[in-house]
Amino acid sequence: MTRPVMLAAVSAALLAGGCQKFKDLMNPPMAEFTSPDGKWKAKFPGSPREQSKSALGVTFTMWGKEPWNGKGAYAVGFGDLPIPANEPDHKRQERLEDLVKGAVAGTVRESKRILLHGRYPGRESVATITEPKAGQYKCRMYLVGTRAYMVIVAGEDAFVTASPAEEFLESFHLTGEITPAHAPGGISNPAERLALQQAKATRPVEEPLPKVTGTVINSTNGKYKAHFPEAPKKGTATSGDLTFTTYAVTTNGAAYTAGYADQPNLAEVTGKQRQEALDAARDAAVADLGERAKRGKVELVVMGGKHRGWEFEATAGDRVQRARVYLVGTRLYRLTVRGSADAVKEPDADRFFESFQVTN
């Protein structure tokens, strides 16, 4: 999938609503829209319009709505891809990275892993844009079977950060059967047809959502909760100059750890010093992997819309670590998953990271 293809489809959707002739007409309220194929639904401020773009044997269908004030637009799009049946999760994660690179317009400043319905892998990315005017481009990308979904808000800063934009993003849900679906008109790509035939041969038409197993830990003293694949044990771990109170478990070739450490000295410090403390915690987590540890990709993450942190990876020989660190007040939180390259990319690991949240 190429960047021009995705951008062309998105641009068509964002321009689809046009400008109303009467500027004094109030924007309609957010109302639920269900796609004609019955596969998804989302709330739009009025009825969205459909645009399609065909390229490289794939049809991208976009549904977009631009309110009359011209400050921004909402869009949902999907395209069916020639994905092999039973593709490993780590390959799907790589595919998502490529989709984001092709779909996100502008300079990406934030990106994090997300899950749709607690099952389908996705990415949420925020970019700074200059065309058609200065502002933001926020995109949630999901992979569901052989179908890629994009949920997009783009426009001026105030438009993208307003409550209706968040309501639109959160309103996107799948409906009906959950196996790969295709746009009207059939499938023209032979590889895509083969992938669909293989998928139908290996799973039922209406595959039920799998039961989510594991244990949710609510730490009273730590004031957080997280979903572990199995029941963890409480303990402590030292990293750098800090001692963390932790919950940890090793299962299916990966070690899961969540913990916290208090830093009272951060109570009256500046933003720069807090960032330095967060960076130090990140670097210490990498060093914990061993002498040969090398830091890989680093991404900014925001928990609960306000607590900033780092998501990063590290390697040491054949050992891989995925980790996140957050600074909430004077408390540092750290989550790590260590194991083989395949083990740390399993759905359990994604669920572990995305489930973490601070409690009161």
- The per-residue pLDDT for range 113-135, each reduced to its tens digit, is 888 887 888 888 888 888 777 88
**How much is the mean pLDDT over the chain?**
79
Same domain, 41 and 83: yes
209 within some domain: no
pLDDT in tens, 40-77: 999 998 888 888 766 545 677 888 988 766 788 999 98
* Pair 59, 34 in one domain: yes
Phi, psi of 147 (to 5 degrees): -105, 135
> How far is the C-alpha of 257 from the C-alpha of 130, rounded, in Å?
41
298 and 186 both lie in a single domain:
no
**Residue 275 corresponds to which tokens in the numbers above?**
């960032």
Q: Is the pLDDT of residue 84 over 70?
A: yes
Residues 29-37: contacts with CB under 8 Å, at least 24 apart: 30/164, 30/167, 30/168, 30/171, 32/171, 33/63, 34/175, 35/63, 35/76, 36/184, 37/181, 37/183, 37/184
In a domain, 247, yes or no: yes
Residues 245 and 185 both lie in one domain: no
Among residues 160, 177, 202, the one where a domain terminates is 202
pLDDT at 287: 93
Let me know if residue 207 belongs to a domain: no
Whether the CB-CB separation of 17 and 67 falls below 8 Å is answered with yes
Q: What is the CB neighbour count within 10 angstroms for residue 296?
A: 12
Shortest CA distance to 140 belongs to which of 197, 76, 83, 44?
76
State the CB neighbour count (10 A cutoff) for residue 247: 20
Residue 250 lies in a domain: yes
Same domain? For 188 and 250 the reply is no
Query: Whole-angstrom Cα distance, residue 239 to residue 202?
Result: 46
Question: Does 226 map to a domain?
Answer: yes
Domain final residue, candidates 139, 167, 202? 202
Helices and strands counted in the chain (H then E): 7, 20
Distance CA 342, CA 354 (A): 18
Give the end-to-end CA distance of the chain in Å, rounded to a whole number: 44
CB-CB contact of 100 with 141 (8 Å): yes
CATH (domain of 97): 3.40.1000.10
Closest CA to 347 of 252, 258, 257, 282: 252
| Burial of 36 (C-beta count, 10 Å sphere; 0-12/13-18/19+) | exposed
277 and 172 both lie in a single domain: no
Domain of residue 119 covers 3-202
| Residue that wins the pLDDT comparison between 157 and 14 | 157
Q: Which of 156, 174, 202 is the last residue of a domain?
A: 202
In the numeric block, which tokens belong to residue 170?
A: 């959160």
Q: Which two tokens stand for residue 165?
A: 């934009």
Q: How far apart are CA 258 and CA 349, in angstroms?
A: 12
Task: For residue 208, tell me if it sits in a domain.
Answer: no
Q: Are residues 29 and 151 in the same domain?
A: yes
Same domain, 181 and 111: yes
Residues paired with 142 in a beta bridge: 122, 149
Domain co-membership, 141 together with 274: no
The reply to whether 210 falls in a domain is no
Helix (H, G, I), strand (E, B) or coil at 315: strand
Amino acid letter, residue 177: E
- State whether 48 and 185 are in the same domain: yes
Which residues are 31's β-sheet partners?
44
**C-alpha to C-alpha distances, 29 to 21, 67, 167, nearest whole angstrom:** 18, 11, 11
Residue 30 domain flag = yes
What average pLDDT does this structure show over 323-343?
93
Q: Which residue has the higher pLDDT, 227 or 189?
A: 227
**Separation between Cα atoms, residue 281 and residue 239, nearest integer Å:** 8
**pLDDT one-digit tens code per residue, 244-270:** 999 999 999 999 999 999 999 988 887
Counting Cβ atoms within 10 Å, is residue 39 exposed (0-12), middle (13-18) or buried (19+)? buried
Q: Are the C-beta atoms of 121 and 112 separated by less than 8 Å? A: no
Q: What is the pLDDT of residue 176?
A: 67
My answer on whether 43 and 90 are in the same domain is: yes
**Does 160 share its domain with 222?**
no
How many domains is the chain built from? Answer: 2
